[in-house]
Copies of this chain bind each other. A is one copy, B any other.
Amino acid sequence: MFVTRRPAGRWLAGGALLLCLAVTAGYLPDHAQGGDPLREMTRPRYADGKQLLLPGEYRNWVFVGASLGLSYSETARESGPGLFHHVYLQPEAYAHYRRTGQFPEQTMLIMELYRPEQKVSINRGGYFEGERVGLEVAVKDRGQFEEGWAYFDFANGRRPQARAFPKQSCFDCHLQHAAADNVFTQFYPVLRSINAAGR
């Protein structure tokens, strides 16, 4: 009895170690690791009901496009080129969109706004990005918002939580004009190229 149990203990140790190495090295498929490709995705968090908390670190999210002074109005701008926009989404939401052509539930798109600058250092023509002046977030979360998507202004990060804009402020226009599921993929080259591939 003792003789058969002693090696069994060692086999158990060896098996645990091998399983560990396989998981750590990523040799096992997702489902064998109990995994879902969206498992690691940063999720929207709420306070006091439907107030979205400012998402934390998004510098490692996937950047999908920039624009300068993008507007939907025929009225000419009073002066200057307008603001730069940066748009990011979670890497897992990006991978899902590449794979399926759909944004998963709890996708978040971050929009940063930067003031344009010029003629600093050796720059003579054109515009680069100066100070950040805005931070807004779009969230797809049908569990929280009847329309599916909601839009938030974090006052350039000064507001730690924000209430969704009224439906007619953002949602209606996104619904009507955005190329894919309320997202203006037609303006973001990194997402547009996926659309174009028909995926």
Size band of the interface chain A makes with B: 35 or more
**If A2-B2, A24-B20, A71-B123 touch, does A60 touch B9 (CB 8 Å cutoff)?**
no
**Which residue of chain B has its CB nearest to the CB of A177?**
B122
Contact partner, A124, options B10, B20, B23, B72, Cβ 8 Å: B72
Given contacts A20-B21, A67-B126, 4 further A-B contacts (CB under 8 A): A2-B6, A16-B16, A60-B60, A129-B188
Q: Contacting chain B: which of A42-50, A77-85, A135-143?
A: A77-85
Contacts A/B (CB < 8 Å), 7 sampled:
A10-B12, A24-B24, A66-B84, A67-B127, A68-B116, A70-B126, A77-B126
The distance in angstroms between the C-alpha atoms of A132 and B188, with both chains bound, is 11
**Would you give the shortest CB distance from A127 to chain B, in whole angstroms?**
5
Residues in chain B near residue A41, CB distance under 8 A: none
Once bound together, how far apart are the Cα atoms of A59 and B61, in whole Å?
9
The answer to whether B129 and A189 touch across the interface, beta carbons within 8 angstroms, is: yes
| Chain B nearest Cβ from A93, distance in angstroms | 12
Shortest Cβ distance from residue A153 to the other chain B in the assembled complex, whole angstroms:
20
